[in-house]
Chain A
Amino acid sequence: MASKTIHAIYNDDDLLLHAVKQVREARYHIGEIYTPFPVHGLDKAVGEAPTRLAITSFLYGITGLSVAVLMMNYMMVQDWPQDIGGKPSFSFLTNMPSFIPIMFELTVFFAAHLMVITFYMRSRLAPFKKAENPDPRTTDDMFLMEVDATNHNVEDLTKFLYDTGAAEIKLIDNK
């Protein structure tokens, strides 16, 4: 079955925010919104679930801390506990202060890098990836809202979107 979407283009972020609220109230389904810059409050208006990226980062940080502890405990205390300048390498705790800079840095390193990679994977960003841009103007000064029109009367929907202040309305037929 062919699906239809409508691309409504706005030229102001305030207008877009209001439109999003109206569209949601009228129970139309918003597919995607393209904006040239972050619009404060848009994610809440659309009803996006909050991101869990911070939680993953915390877990990655703990992973990094464990890696640092295990690595240095093995190398400095268990494998070859050499006397280096009188540092007490009898157990991990007796020599811990000198390990803390590395523990800290590895925690930050893991938390930061793995979180960024997670972000790339979840948002499907990679080099040589084909840009999914319905209209190049949305990277400059236009805001585009995709509204699902498959099971709706296209004319009513067009009229509705026009009333929300859309500057341009296009019907896209996905065959």
Chain B
Amino acid sequence: MYTLSSKLKLTAIILVIVGAIGLVYGFISTPSNEEELKELLAADAHGEHGAEHEEASATTEEHGTAVEADHAASSEGHGETAHGEGEHGDSHMEHLLHQFQTKPWSAIFVSAFFFFMIALGALVFYAIQYVAQAGWSPVLFRVIEGVTNYLLPGSIIVVLIVIFAGTHFYPWQNHELVEEDVILQGKSGYLNFPFFVIRAIIYLIGWNLYRFISRRNSLAQATATNLTPYKKNFKASVFFLLFFVITETTMAWDWFMSMTPHWYSTLFAWYIFASIFVSAITVIALVTMFLKKAGHLEFVNDSHLHDLAKFMFAFSVFWTYLWFGQFLLIWYANIPEEVTYFIIRIEEYNLLFFGMLVLNFIFPILMLINSDYKRIPWFVMMAGVVILIGHYIDIFLLVMPSTVGPNWSFGITEIAGLLFFLGLFILFVGTGLAKESLYPKGNPFLKESENYHY
């Protein structure tokens, strides 16, 4: 039986509090009108340069142009009556203000989704292990269940953010914009607010329902005299995987692709799934190593670690394959409505964009290719941390360029978001692990799993 140590608990609570303070600061320090923004830019030594730079690149970015067009239209009447400022400068400042106000929203969403997707990916991994009737993994089931304990709070927070972010993230929620945009009108059958909310709630209920059912069955199996709970879990896992493949796809369209509603990519949902999955497996491996080191998992041996590390390796390559599959096709054909997505990422986020490839691909492939190294805990730990940093950057690059464009920074708000959700994640995963014995008694494959040897 594992108990969350008071030291770790205190650390997590401190992280949550510090993070919350930072996030509140992030929202408060956002300029609320153009005067404040001008002061902010003037105070910044490079403010003028940044503004110029922004103006040049605003036209390259899809979301940017769409919003700018909208603001140009709305400021026409405004400019005539109120102030005699130049029409272009006015709309430019409004556009800039919009992006600055979006910054804390994006910062909180990146971190919220990053930790939520770890819990979700762990749940999918769990379901796959059940459906595949894997003989090696049952000893890890309680660990995975512990990681998925974060799913409920994580998913609720993420869904609340996407619902309340409104036009900060999703330009198609701006009615004035849709009225003059034929493309958005064409998509309004899918991209409209009520349907968007309904979908989000369906995902929320479906994913959490499976987590609830599988956990209940798994615990029931520990005291059951027959295999009924196991069989129920098997069926539930099959249906969950079917449900997940569909909802993950639409989730990726809803929450990420519709941030740039003129842009589309077929591979996108799979690409996000690869990120979800590899991060989740990495965290499962890290938690397993942590618990093993603390002496709570005597029945886990280094062959289990070896298998997890193999999964980390293989899905890092899989992620790179999808990333490159998407990038190569768009780069090669260079169709204007598609390349905008990558142009802003390469021009404004160059180091992150290509650095991410080093962290997510080259590093894991060189560190985890050797069979012996995959059994050394500190080695896998190191590779895992690098992979997680890489995939945080990946989520950062999904959101930031689409919402705040070139005005991104990695400052107090972003770090606070990371700390807040890290603390929350540790708290929920820790209490989830502490609820039940870590030995998944009653699983029909447990004996095989305990004696697993590669």
Whole-angstrom distance between the Cβ of A110 and the nearest chain B Cβ: 16
Contact of B332 among A54, A58, A97 (CB under 8 A): A97
Q: How many residues of A contact B (CB 8 A)?
A: 7
Contact A86 B324 (CB under 8 A): no
Contacts of B331 in A (CB 8 A): 97
Contact B328 A58 (CB under 8 A): no
* CB nearest to A98 among chain B residues: B332
Contact A86 B334 (CB under 8 A): yes
Does B382 reach chain A (CB closer than 8 Å)? Answer: no
* A58:B324 contact, CB within 8 angstroms: no
**Interface residues of A: mostly helix, strand, loop or mixed?**
helix
Please name all residues of chain A whose beta carbon is closer than 8 Å to the beta carbon of B327 when the two chains form the complex. 97
Total count of chain B residues near the partner, CB < 8 A? 8
**Contact across chains for B334 and A97 when beta carbons are under 8 A apart:** no
Question: Which B residues lie within 8 Å of A97 (CB)?
Answer: 324, 327-328, 331-332
Given A97-B328, A100-B324, A100-B328: A58 and B334 interface contact (C-beta under 8 Å): no
Complex: A58 Cα to B373 Cα, angstroms? 15
Nearest residue, chain A, Cβ from B328: A97
Per-position binary interface string of chain A over residues 92-107, scored 1 when its CB falls under 8 Å from any chain B CB and 0 otherwise: 0000011011000000
In the complex, A101 Cα to B369 Cα: how many Å? 21
Please measure, in the bound complex, the distance between the C-alpha atom of A98 and the C-alpha atom of B334, giving whole angstroms: 12
Q: Which of B306-354 contact A (CB under 8 A)?
A: 324, 327-328, 331-332, 334
Query: What's the least CB distance linking A97 to chain B, in Å?
Result: 5
A58 to B371, CA, bound (A): 13
Q: Within 8 Å CB of B334, what residues of A?
A: 86
Which B residues lie within 8 Å of A100 (CB)? 324, 328
- Smallest CB-CB separation from B327: which chain A residue? A97
State how many angstroms separate the Cβ of B271 from the closest Cβ of chain A: 16
B224-258 CB mask vs A (1 if < 8 Å, else 0) is 00000000000000000000000000000000000
Please measure, in the bound complex, the distance between the C-alpha atom of A80 and the C-alpha atom of B331, giving whole angstroms. 22
Q: How far is the CA of A101 from the CA of B331 in the complex (A)?
A: 14
Looking at the assembled complex, report how far the CB atom of B287 sits from the nearest CB atom of chain A, in whole angstroms.
Answer: 30
CB-defined contacts of B371 to chain A, threshold 8 Å: 54
Interface bits B153-172 vs A (CB < 8 Å: 1, else 0): 00000000000000000000
How many Å lie between the Cα of A86 and that of B332 in the bound state? 10
Interface residues of A in 48-67 (CB under 8 A from B): 54, 58
- The residue in A58, A86, A97, A101 that gathers the most chain B C-beta atoms within 10 A of its C-beta is A97
Q: In the complex, what distance in Å separates the CA atom of A169 from the CA atom of B199?
A: 75
* Chain A residue at minimal CB-CB distance from B372: A50
Note all chain A residues with C-beta closer than 8 A to B332. 97-98
Report the bound CA distance from A100 to B323 in whole Å.
13
CB contacts (< 8 Å) of A101 on chain B: these are 328
Complex Cα distance, B330 from A97, in Å, reads 11
Closest to B332 in A: A98
Q: In the complex, A154 Cα to B7 Cα: how many Å?
A: 69
Distance in Å from the Cβ of B306 to the closest Cβ of chain A? 15
A101 to B324, CA, bound (A): 10
Give A102 Cβ to nearest chain B Cβ, in Å: 12
| Chain A residue nearest to B330 in the complex (CB) | A97
Q: Which residues of B contact A86 (CB under 8 A)?
A: 334
By a beta-carbon cutoff of 8 Å, the part of chain B in contact with chain A is 324, 327-328, 331-332, 334, 369, 371
- Excluding A97-B324, A101-B328, 11 further A-B contacts by CB distance (< 8 Å) are A54-B371, A58-B369, A86-B334, A97-B327, A97-B328, A97-B331, A97-B332, A98-B328, A98-B332, A100-B324, A100-B328
A-B contact pairs, 13 of them (CB 8 A): A54-B371, A58-B369, A86-B334, A97-B324, A97-B327, A97-B328, A97-B331, A97-B332, A98-B328, A98-B332, A100-B324, A100-B328, A101-B328
Which residues of A line the B interface, CB within 8 A? 54, 58, 86, 97-98, 100-101
